[in-house]
A and B are shown apart, each in its own frame.
Chain A
Amino acid sequence: AQSVTQPDIHITVSEGASLELRCNYSYGATPYLFWYVQSPGQGLQLLLKYFSGDTLVQGIKGFEAEFKRSQSSFNLRKPSVHWSDAAEYFCAVGPRNTGFQKLVFGTGTRLLVSP
């Protein structure tokens, strides 16, 4: 069965420092890959997605993610974190043969930003 692992439950980063959030997936074939962000009390917002092509994907709010097939990973990065980036981040995978309604989500990584 497909699964998504986000090994870090919490990460604390100083404002202005770089950020990398890890995501590994287990899947029979290369799935669609997503990163979502959830601010406190809000629903999820899509940051970026990978379908095919260039393995480095640019998203909103200055985020990017790199798909590495050999490592089954899709890590999220940002070169300089802002205090407003404090939120929970979810990695998700979706099968290519169905719609995105059957996304499988990771357990999330909560990002804390220190001054």
Chain B
Amino acid sequence: NAGVTQTPKFQVLKTGQSMTLQCAQDMNHEYMSWYRQDPGMGLRLIHYSVGAGITDQGEVPNGYNVSRSTTEDFPLRLLSAAPSQTSVYFCASSLGGKETQYFGPGTRLLVL
């Protein structure tokens, strides 16, 4: 199993540009989440999904959209990037709501 994979590893955007961060898992996990990690702060939950077709907001959802059309994939969309979205983004998945979360290697995003 590849586990949780994220693409791209690095990305530089200009303010106002849009992009999609990809996340995929091959463990047949129902739960998937997106976090951002900023210096001096712990991980903060952006959006999460408890199954295909079901998503919900986390602590910091503004400026981000998600959808979950398949069990395997959970893309995160930035519709109009802002410098405040410069961060490292982690995707995680788990078999159930109270099971261990497995994290991807992260995507480092710089918005100029």
A interface residue numbers (CB < 8 A to B): 4, 32, 41-46, 49, 90, 92, 98-108
Contact indicator per residue, chain B 59-81, by CB within 8 Å of chain A (1) or not (0): 00000000000000000000000
Contact A43 B103 (CB under 8 A): yes
**Known A-B contacts A101-B31, A102-B58; A46 and B97 likewise in contact (beta carbons under 8 Å):** no
Contact A99 B96 (CB under 8 A): yes
**Residues of B in contact, count (CB < 8 Å):** 25
Contact A103 B45 (CB under 8 A): yes
| Residue in A4, A44, A92, A101 whose beta carbon sits within 8 Å of that of B58 in the complex | A101
Q: How far is the CB of B18 from chain A (nearest CB, A)?
A: 25
Q: How far is the CB of B110 from chain A (nearest CB, A)?
A: 16
Q: Which of A41, A43, A90 has the largest count of B CB atoms less than 10 A from its CB? A: A43
Bound Cα distance A49, B94 (Å): 15
A-B contact count (CB 8 A): 61
| Residue in A43, A99, A100, A103 whose beta carbon sits within 8 Å of that of B105 in the complex | A43
Can you list 13 pairs linking A and B with CB atoms under 8 Å apart?
A: A32-B98, A41-B106, A43-B4, A43-B106, A45-B103, A90-B42, A100-B94, A100-B99, A101-B31, A101-B45, A101-B50, A106-B42, A107-B41
Tell me which residues across on chain A come within 8 A of B100, comparing CB atoms: 46, 49
Q: How far is the CB of B21 from chain A (nearest CB, A)?
A: 14
Q: Looking at chain A's contact residues, is the secondary structure mostly helix, strand, loop, or mixed?
A: mixed
Contact B33 A101 (CB under 8 A): yes
Tell me which residues across on chain B come within 8 A of A98, comparing CB atoms: 97
Bound Cα distance A105, B44 (Å): 7
Contact B50 A99 (CB under 8 A): yes
Q: How far is the CB of B27 from chain A (nearest CB, A)?
A: 14
Bound Cα distance A94, B102 (Å): 16
Tell me which residues across on chain B come within 8 A of A49, comparing CB atoms: 100
Tell me which residues across on chain A come within 8 A of B96, comparing CB atoms: 99
Tell me which residues across on chain B come within 8 A of A43, comparing CB atoms: 4, 90, 92, 103-106
- Chain A: CB-nearest residue to B6: A43
Tell me which residues across on chain A come within 8 A of B40, comparing CB atoms: 107
Would you call B43 an interface residue if the criterion is a C-beta within 8 Å of the partner chain's C-beta atoms?
A: yes
